[in-house]
Amino acid sequence: MGLSTHTFSVDGTLPPDPVIVQGSIGAVRTVIIYEDAQLGSTDYDVYAPTADATPVRRPAGAKTEFHAGDGKFFEPGAIIGYVNAATAGSYTFAQEEHS
């Protein structure tokens, strides 16, 4: 099983920021995102599968997993969801991609 880790920036303004599969290890089955801070400093909203979906509030420090489904993969460049910080500011999120 391969693993690749990336970072991306999230702010607290709309529209929400896309979660894009980086694909440095090719297509992946699972993507996990979380604020790249030891304890997390902001709650955040996850929109999936589209930016206009009803958001789900996640607490600071929580991990969110996106699964492609049985026998399926997320292809490099695919937008699999969107995220927005609950408070204004700029935050760095980690993105783990698992093959």
Secondary structure (3-state) at 85: strand
Local mean pLDDT, 10-residue blocks, the chain (99 residues)? 92 95 95 86 96 96 95 96 95 95
Handedness of CA 1, 60, 91, 81 (dihedral sign): positive
Which pLDDT score is estimated for 96?
Answer: 97
As a dihedral over the C-alpha atoms of residue 64, residue 80, residue 89, residue 53, rounded to 10 degrees, the angle is -90
| CATH of span 3-98 | 2.60.120
Cβ neighbours of residue 5 closer than 8 Å, sequence gap 6 or more: 94, 95, 96, 97
pTM of the full predicted structure? 0.94
Residue type for 18, please? P
Is the bond leading into 15 cis (omega within 30 degrees of zero)?
yes
